[in-house]
């Protein structure tokens, strides 16, 4: 059986979505992703590059490097909470609803790692 492209319920071979609600939610997601794709890509690049730059600077000066690393983790986490845009391969494997959920769990994990990094920075400096 074929599965709904949004919620992964089993559907007939000729349908793409199980109901109009799933189709509406999926089209809203794809419209939102098309609208904010450039902003997402830019912010993703900035926050991802903050982490290795922070590691490099942290070898010479501790505080600035720590701030860059934690800032990159917080930025990625908050961005993925607000704009949970999974990759196309994730959507194909898990379907859209679960892929967005996985992105949000990953965002919470990044924020948690950022909180731990902040605690370590504050308590051991």
Number of domains in the chain: 1
pLDDT of 90 above 80: yes
What domain range includes position 108?
2-123
* CA distances (Å), origin 34, targets 28, 44, 59, 111: 10, 15, 39, 26
- Share of residues in the chain with pLDDT > 90 (%): 83
Q: Which residues of 25-46 are buried (b: 16+ CB within 10 A; e: fewer)?
A: bbeebeeeeeeeeeebeebbee
Residue 123 φ/ψ, nearest 5 degrees? -80, -25
> Tell me: the pLDDT tens digits for 64-81?
899 999 999 999 999 999
- Is the pTM for the entire model greater than 0.85? yes
Instruction: State the Cα–Cα distance between residues 66 and 71, nearest whole angstrom.
Output: 8
pLDDT of 29 above 90: yes
């Amino acid at each position: 059986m074929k599965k709904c492209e949004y919620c992964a319920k089993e559907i007939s071979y000729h349908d793409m979505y199980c109901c109009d609600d799933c189709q509406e939610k999926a089209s809203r997601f794809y419209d939102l992703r098309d609208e904010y794709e450039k902003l997402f890509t830019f912010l993703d690049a900035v926050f991802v590059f903050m982490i290795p730059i922070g590691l490099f600077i942290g070898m010479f000066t501790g505080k600035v490097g720590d701030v860059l690393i934690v800032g990159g983790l917080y930025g990625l986490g908050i961005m993925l909470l607000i704009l949970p845009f999974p990759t196309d391969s994730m959507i194909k494997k898990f379907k859209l609803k679960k892929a967005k959920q996985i992105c949000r769990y990953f965002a919470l994990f990044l924020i948690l790692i950022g909180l731990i990094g902040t605690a370590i920075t504050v308590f051991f400096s």
